[in-house]
Amino acid sequence: QVQLVESGGGLVQAGDSLRLSCAASGRTLSTYVMGWFRQAPGKEREFVASISRNTYKTDYARSVKGRFTISRDNTGTTVYLQMNSLKPEDTADYYCAADIRDHSSWFTTGLDIADYDYWGQGTQVTVLS
């Protein structure tokens, strides 16, 4: 069992920035495809960003591309989501997810919730207009 814990959410004004963190106690995440998803009230969980093993590749939803950046720390224990120029429509619970499958390609990312095996409990981001 990979227990993921997100942190860094909060209440901000439109245009502000937040950095979300995702970590797993007792685990390195560098060998996992990692993703960030979000779920707004009354909506389905949607893809935000994904990063391949060892950061060979990243992918983003069109709605956040150019504003959000997914990254890993140097130790491989934490995955970040830097969120800049936040908009009210970014308001959601943000979830970190891990795909622990051993993919043959270093460039594999996951854009669907079905690609992931473990999920954190979420951290809430509220962006005021």
pLDDT, position 26: 77
List the one residue out of 120, 123, 92 whose CA is nearest residue 34.
120
Residue 107: strand, helix, or coil:
coil
Residue 126: strand, helix, or coil:
strand
DSSP letter for 47, please. Answer: E
If you compute the radius of gyration of the chain from its CA atoms, what whole number of angstroms results?
14
pLDDT, position 25: 82
pLDDT tens by residue, the chain, 129 residues: 899 999 999 999 999 999 999 999 878 999 999 999 999 999 999 999 999 998 999 999 999 999 999 999 999 999 999 999 999 999 999 999 999 999 999 999 999 999 999 999 999 999 999
Neighbouring C-beta atoms of residue 39, cutoff 10 Å: 15
The CA distance from 41 to 96, in Å, is: 18
pLDDT, position 1: 84
Q: Output the six-digit token pair for 65.
A: 């591309």
